[in-house]
Structure 1
Amino acid sequence: MVDEEIVVTKLRHINEYTNDLREMQGLPKKEYKSDVIIQRAVERTCMNLVQACIDIAKHIRAAEDLSQSGTSKQNIEALGNAGIISRETQKRLAEAVGFRNILAHRYGDVDHDIVYDVLHNDLRWFEQYQQELAQWFQQQ
């Protein structure tokens, strides 16, 4: 059974991280790329945001017995396969897991142009994920 407190807390975290990132939008790319403190703040908040998405997916997957334990991407995919989130949201969040891995493990150099683009163009997918999960949860 899905634990309401866990779901609500994780949805709140997703909302908070998304709002924090929205506050960092609008900074000119040149200024963003020259400010290592802002870069680190954006990267860390992105990592926390994606991790909150993974955590809630893992909890729902386990509680609903959707599939056996797997990777972070597989936890997201399990929600899409069960119709809890849309296929497009599933795809975007699975990509976000890869993005989080690059940021967290520093596979090569982080491309600040890509991070800047994610900040300005991809937050809607996290909001969509949050909305779809909230809608599913309310129907339970």
Structure 2
Amino acid sequence: MVDEDVVVDKLRYINQYTDDLKQMRGMSKEEYVKDVVMQRAVERTLMNLVQACIDLAQHIRSEEDLSPSGTAKQEMQALENADILSPETQGRMEEAIGFRNILAHRYGDIDHDVVYDVLHNDLHWFEQFQQELAQWFQQFGS
């Protein structure tokens, strides 16, 4: 059985990081591309956000004895296979994990236009992830 404190804590972090990123949206793409400090803040917060999602998925997968542990993407697949996440949300979270890997490991140069677009167009997927897990937890996790 999942640990309620862990789930609530991770959901709180996901919400906090998403809110922090929303507050970083105020500048134009041109300003963002020139502002190295803002780029680092956005990138680090995005990495933390995705990691919190991975940590929560790992906890649920482990405690619900879903599938054997594997990669972060496999953790999301296990939640989708258990009907905890919708297929669309699971796919978007896998994309986010790949994006986090690029940011964290600096595979080549970071495309700041892409990061800016994620900041402005994709945060709702993290909210959707949070909502789906919260709904599952309310129904089955406690």
Q: Which 4+ stretches in 1 moved above 4 angstroms?
A: none
The DSSP-based 3-state class of the residue aligned with 2:110 is: coil
In structure 2, the residue matched to 1:38 is: 38
The DSSP-based 3-state class of the residue aligned with 1:42 is: helix
Identical columns (%): 72
- My pick for the range that moved more, 35-44 or 18-27, is 18-27
The DSSP-based 3-state class of the residue aligned with 1:83 is: coil
Q: CA deviation at 1:23?
A: 0.4
Q: TM-score, normalised by structure 2?
A: 0.98
The two structures, once aligned, show a CA RMSD in angstroms of: 0.5
The DSSP-based 3-state class of the residue aligned with 1:92 is: helix
Q: CA deviation at 1:26?
A: 3.0
Q: Does 1:117 align with 2:117?
A: yes
CA distance in 2 between partners of 1:139 and 1:132 (Å): 11
In structure 2, the residue matched to 1:102 is: 102
Letter of the 1:7 counterpart: V
Number of residue equivalences = 140
In structure 2, the residue matched to 1:57 is: 57
Q: TM-score, normalised by structure 1?
A: 0.99
Letter of the 2:50 counterpart: V
In structure 1, the residue matched to 2:14 is: 14
